[in-house]
Amino acid sequence: MKAVLLIDFGSTYTKVTAVDVDTEEILGTSQSYTTIETDIINGLNNAVALLKEKIGDITFSEQYACSSAAGGLRMVAIGLVPELTAKAARQASLGAGAKVIKTYSYELTERDLQEIDQINPDICLLTGGTDGGNKENIVFNANMLARSKGKFPIIIAGNRNCADTCAEILKDKQTYICENVMPRLDIPNVEPVQNKIREIFLEQIVKAKGLSNAEQLIQGILMPTPSAMLTAMKLLAKGTKTEEGIGDLVGVDLGGATTDIYSMSFGLPTMGMTALKGLREEYAKRTVEGDIGMRYSIHGIVDAAGIDRVSELSGLDEERCKELVDYLSVHTDVVPGENDDELERIDFALASLAIETAVTRHAGRLEQYYSPMGVSYMQTGKDLTAVKTVIVTGGALIHTKRTAEIASHALFTPLDAMSLKPKNAEVLVDRKYILAAMGLLSTEYPDTALRIMKRELVKDGTRN
């Protein structure tokens, strides 16, 4: 046996997964409250103790971790045009596992600068202009950031012809020059920036948040948790040199505060007479809906979908729905028991609408217009209609008998005919919370991680 321990330091729970890489089996999983206020090792020790009660007092030959504790990796992104460089900057940040607190376009204002200082991000990403293009905007914003009171590092990833100028302006700050996120119009180049973001996360932010204290027990915190999730999804879709993946997919991670959506697909137009509008998106895409969550952001679901939809799906009257939503927003640790019919029904409605809203925002859309050739279409974002697999995870999806029914809200509906959500997809469920762990494991054992995911993800919401 060669046992490997995989750790996810979450904002609320520290989750641990034990894997035997020789037999390619999951030995067990457990979780305990994350003790970020005292010493993060306490929560880890508690989780490991619970794990060993299940699997015995075994020795782990390797231990790896990811983290979203202490707020995760918080970033602000600054670009020129909202639909181009600002969007590319946001894509780069999200793809690196960050939580993008705010995106700014055009020239920063005094109020913007005050807001950035209040946010005090872990990293600021400064972009703007294609190579050889607009210089004035990014230089202006560099001068504004030079006046910032914050101590956050700044990544300069805009027009290469003025990168050194920006670095000189920001010489009193901690700066990093990186390749332009959009060197040519409509063509993003996010990977170099993402690598730099992860490098800063590992070198500085882990230490600043006190997470480096845990390194006496592990090899190191390799990446932010969302990055581990993205790594797992990409591996599952594309496979390795020796193990075939399952093809294009959409992933849904429904949490208490946010809903993360992942898509592994180029998403190019599949329908005739359709042109692509705006920035071409990366194969591996992540979006975060910070206003959509099952407890801390519960009112965001209602604001987005309407209390009438909550009432319709739950079968409860609107007044009772409002009462339950208000109650759950305060009592965030409450989960439905076996006899809590009303709570089960309201959670079903909220989870369904959270997924419906988040996937609709993530997927592309069509706009119809008339041309000399007749009816034509303009596509914004990704066409996911041909995706055949939707993977779901999160407590509200795992601890329910109606997982497949809830997950069906990620699919296309004729009621929103211009949305490009998947049309006929099979639902796979991550019942054991292994996706982030498999993202970690894949850094050293990609084939093993892939085979475990292909075996452990459960079809159609059925239980093991």
pLDDT digits (tens, 9 = 90+) for 140-176: 999 999 999 988 999 999 999 999 999 999 999 999 9
Q: What is the pLDDT of residue 214?
A: 55
Give helix 307-314 / helix 341-362 axis angle, nearest 10°: 130
Q: What is the pLDDT of residue 355?
A: 96
Percent share of the chain, pLDDT over 70: 92
* Mean pLDDT of all residues belonging to the chain: 88
Q: What is the pLDDT of residue 213?
A: 59
User: CATH for 3-70+209-219?
Assistant: 3.30.420.40
Residue pair 293/259 in contact (Cβ under 8 Å)? The answer is yes
What's the rounded Cα separation, in Å, for the pair 193 and 180? 8
Domain 74-203 in the same topology as domain 3-70+209-219: no
What's the rounded Cα separation, in Å, for the pair 61 and 288? 35
Mean pLDDT throughout 92-111? 88
User: CATH for 74-203?
Assistant: 3.40.50.2300
pLDDT digits (tens, 9 = 90+) for 304-361: 999 999 999 999 999 999 999 999 999 888 888 777 889 999 999 999 999 999 999 9
Q: What is the pLDDT of residue 2?
A: 94
> Which of 23-37, 105-119, 379-393 is predicted least confidently?
23-37
| pLDDT over 60 (residue 254) | yes
| pLDDT over 80 (residue 66) | yes
Mean pLDDT throughout 242-263? 93
| pLDDT over 60 (residue 461) | no
Q: What is the pLDDT of residue 115?
A: 95
Q: What is the pLDDT of residue 201?
A: 79
> Which of 63-77, 241-255, 272-286 is predicted least confidently?
63-77
pLDDT digits (tens, 9 = 90+) for 363-396: 999 998 887 878 899 999 999 999 999 999 988 8
Parse the chain into domains and list their residue ranges: 3-70+209-219, 74-203, 241-430
| pLDDT over 50 (residue 462) | no
How is domain 241-430 classified at the architecture level of CATH?
Answer: 2-Layer Sandwich (3.30)
Percent share of the chain, pLDDT over 90: 59
Q: What is the pLDDT of residue 88?
A: 86
Instruction: Quickly state the pLDDT bin for 464 (edges 50, 70, 90).
Output: very low
Q: What is the pLDDT of residue 269?
A: 92
Look at strands 3-9 and 62-67 and give their pairing.
parallel
Mean pLDDT throughout 171-188? 89
pLDDT digits (tens, 9 = 90+) for 192-246: 998 898 888 777 666 655 665 555 555 566 778 888 999 999 999 999 999 999 9
Give helix 85-95 / helix 191-200 axis angle, nearest 10°: 50
Q: What is the pLDDT of residue 463?
A: 39
Q: What is the pLDDT of residue 39?
A: 63
